[in-house]
Chains A and B, each alone.
Chain A
Amino acid sequence: MQRIIIGALFAWSICAASVLAQAPTYWQDIRPVFRKHCTVCHSAKNIREPEVSGGLALDTYEAFRKGSQRAIYLPGKGDASVLIQVLETKDVKKRMPLDAKPLDMATIALIRKWVDAGAAEGKKPDEKTEVVVRKSTKTRKLDVTLTTSAVVPAGVFGKAGGKLELRMKVGPMTPLTAVAFSPDSKLLATGSYGQAAIWELSTGKAMKVLTNVLGAVNDVRFSPDGKILAVAGGQPSAKGDLRLYSVGDWKLLATLPGHDDSISYLDFSRDGKLLASASFDKTVRIWNVPQLKLERILPDHSDFVYGVAFSPDAKLLASCSKDRTVKLVETATGKGVFTFGGMEQDIIALAFSRNGKQLVSSGYETSLYWWNTQTGDRIRAQGGHGVAVNELRFSNDGSKLVSAGGDSTLRVWNGTTGALVKTVSVGAHVYAAAISPNNKLLASGSYDGLARVWDEASGRLLLTMTSFPGDGEMINWVSLTPEGYGAASSPKLGERGQWLMAGQQVAADRVWAGLQQPDMVARALRGEKLPPPKFAK
């Protein structure tokens, strides 16, 4: 009997020694527990909502130490600490996690041990490592098909002729969620998951593909002077990612941290000094661009903020949200001017008219709502896509308004009267739309992962573009006119895809030799009518 007790004591002392040797720390042992059970409510982004967080955040060590109104732990005294008491209480109304099964004994013991040992911080993991984009291990197996109207005459590739199409095993594609023309109308920036591409409209070539953006790129914007490209994305429910690149050399000028969820929309003030970002973290942030610093946080929305827009004089800032309101505030003070309500669905898109007197909003509330920004009155509710409207953009001269619709169309509206001017059928749920500053082109980004450029006057498709991961770190891209002329990241790419003629596979190298003609792509983008491609026999 005695021997057993001695043995037990001995074993216990070994245990105690090993515990002391590696006392738990916040970052190594406790943060993972908090992350699993606590931080969905007790996080920095919920601090503003005391009914959710109780004013307590546990997602950083500093926040944990601060507690809510008072400290939640006494270093070295686990049992006397509120943190342990709320985990162990029998009162289910007070027990944490609320409305869930209590933590198991071993986990509570771990937390107690940590507090008993002084609640050390440990070493915070390097944040950069969290952000690094893990290489995709996914095998792409679905076909993405780009159709053309190019008809190969009989006798070129076999007896019969037929229409050509390019089929590539690169799907499923992520949606193309952002498009923006440069101020000189020469470039088109597009955004999709983890990347932004900049296309040279004179050749149809992607002059640069920016990778390593976190999560889906929900918006891209050129600064009004054309020198900066802002790229916005982020990891949903984790952090926003806002990057400024220098146009031309594409150097990363800055990352602007702070949003706690992915960023949905951007707008530069007309003088280029301010940049506003709207986020799923329910806030809008205003950034000082020359100084690369945060100017102001607007926390007024109670749900995802989907859109943001400066008035032309930048005195006012409008934002729209899943909370079914549009809010208009003074940019300089953040003071509310008007809240536009009365809608029953999410407001996803909004745009300021050129003269600043009108504001247009839409979303799942499918009509386009035109608001008077001086009086706060609704001028009209008309038009729309019948289903979601995802983006609204005025042309630079204010004469036109383009909308991106969940009904797979782009629509152009009279910028003054709101009357429908034309409907362009895109073929997939449209997420993004833009009008080129010279008023000649429209761009669309859609669920099928493709960007398309259209002739504004005729609504004719001019160019289809897409990019996707290639070998290693490479990003491949390809663009194709409806006539079949195209450009690709490497000459091989056009050959590696399958070219089909009336459904039959034909020799890719010979097809591509006839189609890869940059000058023809350039002519297409100028709106010229192109001759049919010729193929060597």
Chain B
Amino acid sequence: MSRHFTFCLAVCVGLHAAGFVAAQQPVALTVHPAKVTLDGPRAEQRIGVLGKYVAASRDVAREAKFTCSVAAIVRIDDGVLRPVKDGETVVTVTVGGLSAAIPVTVKNATADVPVSFSREIIPILTKAGCNQGACHGSQHGRGGFKLSLLGYDAIFDYPQLVQSAEGRRVVLSDPERSILLQKPILAMEHGGGERFKHSSREYEFLKRWLEDGAPAPTAKDPEATGLEVWPAHRVMVPGETQQILVKATWQDGRSEDVTAVAQYDSLNESVAAVDNNGRITAKSKGETHIMIRFCGQASVVQVTLPYARVQNYPDLPRNNFVDDKLTAKWKELGITPSPACSDDEFFRRIHLDTIGTLPTAADVKAFLADKAPDKRKKAIDRVLNRPEFVDFWALKWGDLLRINREFLNERGMWSFHNWVRGSLRDGKPLDEMVRDIITAQGSTFTEGPANYFMVSRGAAEWSETTSQVFLGVRIGCAKCHHHPFEKWSQDDYYGMAAFFVRLGTKGSQEFGLFGGEQVVFLRATGEQGHPRKGGIVAPHPLDGPKMDDALDRRIKLAEWMTSPSNPFFARNLVNRFWGYYMGRGLVEPLDDMRVTNPATNPELLDMLAKDFVASKFSLKHLLRTIMNSRAYQLSSLATPGNEADAANLYYARFGIRRLSAEQLADAIDFASGTQEKYPGLPLGTRAIQLPDAAVKSYLLEVFGRPSRRITCECERTVQPNIAQALHLLNGDFLNKKIAAPTGRIEKLLKAKRPLPEMVEELYLATLSRSPRADELGRALAWVRRAPTEREGVQDLLWALLNSREFLFNH
């Protein structure tokens, strides 16, 4: 059914070769679907026709002529086939001298099949917007009439429509008098305005359903299980249009064209718009996706409008597979990458990204002096082996796992923090680390990962956190209703919760009556109930089969999660680390991976995940792969060849970003040669070593350190605010650091180093590079004009610390 038959006439090809093809003559036709079965009196099938022309393809369905070999079997209106009577026929589609044949079978054309509430009515209510969050789908309904949000609960909706409020909404004996029909066509006042017209498809279906006696849904009604969209991807030019076709499959094996009732939304309206009927209009250059939803299922169609047509695309150097995948995308989009970055930029980057620490002046100089062709590769290996690697990534995992003394109390917090540090120090593969967390039990004081179950509480929260942190899937919506943009239902939600339902926590007095130790333990029994349908929900992971384990259900979950074939786990992790290194995730937000939020380069995401699995989930291997790619080593400056991609979605240049709060605090300390004293911790403890966010620091607060209260990458912010600028520009914070008696400047002065050397060291300590000749000249002139040399170099350091080059990883 889904295969496309491509018909190509040799004669056309011949003409093409001769160069005589008129612009409007297609060289091939693709029709979809290849074969049609119309089952039931209200079945319909839209026919998609794609014409292949010399330079590109386009939708030619509107120009196509449809003819039928056996008359009176089907009706064809505007490219849509509808049944007339049972039988078989062949519909021939003709465009510009080419034609394609579609065999059509019609069944039950005149059968009296009552309208199905769940299959035919709910989609109409959803598409008309009746049950959306702002209308009758809101928590308290509207105007006394409440429906389930986006129609996820047909069993709830039915009595609301037909029986509640003394049945006032319908008149079964005279359907057209029902306010259910009169309000949406505005024959009566309706707060929601006109939703559809008299005699429209929606109106007729609802009317017919009422005439059929408003047959009720049952709990056994088949649910939609999948969507198939056509075409999956189109490369288009501004102004061009394309009709989408949507096929839904149902639990009972039925599949049908739902193009007329699916909902369409463009993820980026400025690139391509889509109308209510699924017709895309390409608008401006870029790439976007059209989101298609139907009965709790979702899918996307990709639309690409190349930025330019690059003749003779340059032969780009490549370091590894990352570059191959990116280059393929750049070619499709017509963008070219920025040139490679300089050695000093590269060296600063790998230090900030891998260990959150600026390189020393000596290291920078040694690296720049190194003439070995593979010096970047070697530098990457060196930085991966620095001890600060443990500090920096323990910080990141602390954010993700929300290691926080408010939830865990202080000893539990340290226990968890130290366990994470140990895992990183040992180079524990990430699958193993996650397995240890998911299956942890015992004392929160001695078993670090057991604290995972103290941060969030209860089976529901544990399943939500686990899904979001380790799988990148937000299932929270499905606790109460079907996820509006996803396929996750309450069944999926509680299937995940069922893995944790036997887990409990209790206080212990091992460390005294108020010792605060908690114990995470397993009960032998316990089942997860379904709040709406009732009954027990068997444990089953997202998109996975039912599974159970006599000892501990979580073992099965952990095995499923970390299995090499798991579709979420590796993709989630590589997307996060890619995002940390490249400034933007392939999927953004990093922890919102879903069909309707597709990656900007899905092939790269898949390949990174595959490589990560092949490395046995080695974090350092992944980071090494990313850093060794040429993409990571590109300049951050835009070129005419890639500036059109303003958001840098395709990584044709390095994505600049402000230093994180901890990177910045440590960089200021490093540059000024001081050491911030963090309360409750020994002097010498760096910002990247702090165990949680309860350690007070105004600088860290202002620059967006997350408080680790919510499971979301968004809790850490790089948003600018006025307090940041004031703190650095006007506050006495920097002045004190710069003038510290044991600080870098005082040491330099004490050592009586020549001024040009002092200037160079200040540049190296802040910007990780030597000053250019013009910079050196201006700096020297400035310092010499200052009342004293001390004041002059202090001002220089102040200026460097407030420069964008210092504040940004570029």
Contact = CB atoms under 8 A, between A and B. Distances in A.
B172 interface: yes
Interface residues of B, number: 30
A371 interface: no
B214 interface: yes
A431 B167 contact: yes
A36 interface: yes
A49 to B, nearest CB: 12
Contacts of A429: 163
Interface string A204-226: 00000000000110100000000
B129 to A, nearest CB: 13
B171 A193 contact: yes
Interface in B410-442: none
| Main secondary structure on B side of the interface with A | loop
Contacts of B193: 97, 100
A172 B178 CA distance: 13
A41 interface: yes
A236 B173 contact: no
Interface residues of A, number: 42
B166 interface: yes
B166 A177 contact: yes
B171 A174 contact: yes
Nearest to B175: A138
B145 to A, nearest CB: 10
A172 B211 contact: yes
Contacts of A177: 166-167
Contact of A40 (B174, B175, B191, B210): B191
A171 B212 CA distance: 9
Contacts of B316: none
A267 B80 CA distance: 56
B190 interface: yes
A173 interface: yes
B210 A172 contact: yes
A216 B171 contact: yes
B166 A218 contact: yes
A197 to B, nearest CB: 14
| Main secondary structure on A side of the interface with B | loop
B190 A173 contact: no
Nearest to B165: A304
Contact of A236 (B164, B169, B212): B169
Contacts of A100: 193
A41 B142 CA distance: 13
Interface stretch (B181-189, B615-623, B769-777): B181-189
A512 interface: no
Contact of B189 (A40, A172, A264): A40
Contacts of A280: 144, 165, 168
Nearest to B174: A136
Contacts of A406: 159, 163
Nearest to A264: B166
A366 interface: no
B183 to A, nearest CB: 7
A304 B173 contact: no
Interface in B181-220: 183, 186, 188-191, 193-194, 210-214
Contacts, number: 85
Contacts of B169: 236
Contacts of A264: 166
Contacts of B211: 138, 141, 172
A171 B189 contact: no
B179 interface: yes
Contact of A262 (B168, B177, B189): B168
A523 interface: no
A142 interface: yes
B167 A138 contact: no
Contacts of A469: 173
A447 B164 CA distance: 11
A43 B190 CA distance: 12
A293 interface: no
Contacts of A492: none
Nearest to B179: A236
Contact of B188 (A41, A141, A237, A468): A237
Contact of B167 (A142, A216, A303): A216
A172 B190 contact: no
A136 B176 CA distance: 9
Given A218-B166, A322-B144, A40 B190 contact: yes
Contact of B173 (A40, A173, A218): A173
Interface in A119-139: 134, 136, 138
A468 B214 CA distance: 18
A173 B210 CA distance: 11
A238 interface: yes
Interface in B138-181: 144, 159, 163-169, 171-177, 179
A431 to B, nearest CB: 7
A141 B159 CA distance: 23
A193 B173 CA distance: 8
A278 B537 CA distance: 44
Contacts of A447: 163, 167
Nearest to B169: A236
A376 to B, nearest CB: 26
A362 interface: no
B280 to A, nearest CB: 23
Interface in A291-341: 303-304, 306, 322
B252 to A, nearest CB: 25
A39 interface: yes
Nearest to A135: B174
Contact of B213 (A40, A134, A172, A238): A172
Nearest to B194: A36
A35 interface: yes
Contacts of B165: 280, 304, 322
Contacts of A388: 163-164
A94 interface: no
Contacts of A39: 189
B163 A237 contact: no
Contacts of A304: 144, 165
A186 interface: no
A238 B177 CA distance: 13
A80 B782 CA distance: 66
A236 B170 CA distance: 10
Interface string A34-60: 011001110100000000000000000
A482 interface: no
A418 interface: no
A174 B212 CA distance: 12
A175 interface: yes
A303 B175 contact: no
A215 to B, nearest CB: 8
B173 A140 contact: yes
Given A40-B189, A236-B179, A303-B144, A142 B213 contact: yes
Contact of A172 (B159, B188, B212): B212
B173 A237 contact: no
Contact of A43 (B171, B172, B189): B189
Contacts of A36: 186, 189, 194
A390 B159 CA distance: 13
A422 to B, nearest CB: 24
Interface of A: 35-36, 39-41, 43, 97, 100, 134, 136, 138, 140-142, 171-175, 177, 193, 215-216, 218, 236-238, 262, 264, 280, 303-304, 306, 322, 388, 390, 406, 429, 431, 447, 468-469
Given A36-B186, A100-B193, 18 more contacts: A35-B189, A40-B190, A43-B189, A138-B175, A172-B173, A172-B213, A174-B167, A174-B171, A175-B163, A177-B166, A177-B167, A216-B166, A280-B168, A304-B165, A322-B144, A406-B159, A431-B166, A469-B173
Can you list the 5 inter-chain pairs with the closest CB atoms, starting with the nearest? A172-B213, A172-B172, A40-B189, A236-B168, A174-B173
6 contacts: A172-B172, A173-B173, A193-B174, A237-B188, A306-B166, A322-B165
Interface of B: 144, 159, 163-169, 171-177, 179, 183, 186, 188-191, 193-194, 210-214
